[in-house]
């Protein structure tokens, strides 16, 4: 797994440190999955922030997010009620996660990511595996050819206001800047003190100050 993660890091151009599997390997992916359901029970927006937090923990900081202390820390960081989070994690969130697993089996999911798009008439399109963004657009357009895109500001400050941490790859995708230019730009922001850069052996991530 350690070598596989390092290979995946290079393939997807994202900073993923496989040494976690040599230092403190996860024995199951279920605890963080159940924790996400517990976070959703409190606040959908904070749940997305929580998901990002634990992803950075496991991929960048090499923390075993199957352990409660790391899940609780992430919950507190994003402003969740940790006491309620723990109660939900140990009870109803498990049942919600089991329902998710059951739904996946009903839909015939065999791997991840698998994204389903369903219109009001029940017509369905899905995208399996990590695919470029246009694949998702095509799935939506098949269901609704008349749909139009919503534009957004590609200014770096506005992007970081929505996504407080971004890798060069992510910034490139969101800003439309070429990958190499994006990395240079983020490094310049880091040098100016506008961003704090965290570096791993397989890349770095910038965080808004």
Residue 83 has pLDDT above 90, yes or no: yes
Look at residue 56 in the predicted model and tell me its pLDDT.
97
pLDDT tens for 92-123 read 999 999 999 999 999 999 888 999 999 999 99
Mean pLDDT, rounded, for 17-30: 96
* β-sheet bridge partners, residue 165: 207
If DSSP codes are grouped into helix, strand and coil, which group holds residue 131? Answer: coil
Q: Tell me the pLDDT band of 69, cut-offs 50, 70 and 90.
A: very high
Residue 125 has pLDDT above 90, yes or no: yes
The least confident of 51-65, 69-83, 110-124 is 110-124
Closest CA to 155 of 184, 132, 176, 134: 176
Q: Are 38 and 55 in contact (CB under 8 A)?
A: no
Q: What is the mean pLDDT of the chain?
A: 95
Whose tokens are 């941490």? That residue is 165
- The tokens describing 54, both together, are 């634990």
Q: How far is 87 from 41, CA to CA, in rounded Å?
A: 11
Mean pLDDT, rounded, for 67-88: 98
Look at residue 111 in the predicted model and tell me its pLDDT.
87
Mean pLDDT, rounded, for 163-176: 96
Look at residue 43 in the predicted model and tell me its pLDDT.
97
Residue 154 has pLDDT above 90, yes or no: yes
If DSSP codes are grouped into helix, strand and coil, which group holds residue 118? Answer: strand
Q: How far is 48 from 58, CA to CA, in rounded Å?
A: 16
Q: Tell me the pLDDT band of 168, cut-offs 50, 70 and 90.
A: very high
Residue 138 has pLDDT above 90, yes or no: yes
Q: How far is 160 from 195, CA to CA, in rounded Å?
A: 10
- The tokens describing 183, both together, are 């990395």
In degrees, rounded to 5, the angle at the alpha carbon of residue 67 between the alpha carbons of residues 66 and 68 is 120
Residue 132 has pLDDT above 90, yes or no: no
For the chain, the distance separating the N- and C-terminal CA atoms, rounded to the nearest angstrom, is 34
Look at residue 130 in the predicted model and tell me its pLDDT.
86
> In Å, what is the CA distance from 163 to each residue of 81, 156, 174?
22, 10, 10
**Dihedral, 142, 143, 145, 151 alpha carbons, nearest 10:** -100
Q: Percentage of the chain surpassing pLDDT 90?
A: 95
Look at residue 42 in the predicted model and tell me its pLDDT.
97
Q: Model's pTM, two decimal places?
A: 0.90
DSSP state, 170?
Answer: H
Contacts of 27 by beta carbon, 8 Å cutoff, 6+ apart: 66
| Structural domains of the chain in order of their starting residue, each with its CATH number | 2-93 (3.40.30.10), 109-149 (no CATH), 156-208 (1.10.10.10)
Q: Tell me the pLDDT band of 51, cut-offs 50, 70 and 90.
A: very high
Mean pLDDT, rounded, for 86-95: 98
Q: How far is 33 from 51, CA to CA, in rounded Å?
A: 9
Mean pLDDT, rounded, for 122-149: 93
């Amino acid at each position: 797994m350690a070598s596989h993660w390092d290979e995946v890091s290079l393939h997807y151009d994202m900073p993923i440190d496989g040494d976690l599997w040599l230092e403190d390997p996860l024995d199951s992916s279920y605890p963080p999955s159940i924790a996400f359901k517990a976070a959703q029970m409190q606040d959908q927006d904070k749940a997305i922030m929580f998901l990002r937090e634990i992803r950075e923990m496991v991929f960048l900081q090499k923390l075993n997010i199957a352990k409660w202390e790391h899940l609780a820390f992430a919950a507190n960081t994003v402003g969740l009620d940790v006491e309620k989070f723990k109660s939900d994690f140990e009870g109803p969130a498990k049942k919600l996660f089991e329902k998710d697993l059951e739904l996946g089996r009903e839909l015939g999911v065999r791997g991840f990511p698998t994204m389903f798009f369903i219109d009001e008439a029940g017509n369905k399109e899905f995208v399996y595996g990590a695919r470029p963004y246009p694949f998702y657009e095509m799935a939506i357009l098949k269901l609704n050819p008349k749909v139009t895109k919503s534009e957004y500001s590609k200014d770096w400050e506005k992007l970081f206001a929505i996504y407080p941490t971004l890798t060069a790859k992510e910034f490139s995708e969101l800003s439309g800047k070429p990958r190499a230019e994006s990395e240079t730009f983020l490094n310049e922001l880091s040098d100016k003190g506008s961003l704090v850069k965290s570096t791993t052996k397989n890349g770095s991530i910038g965080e808004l100050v």
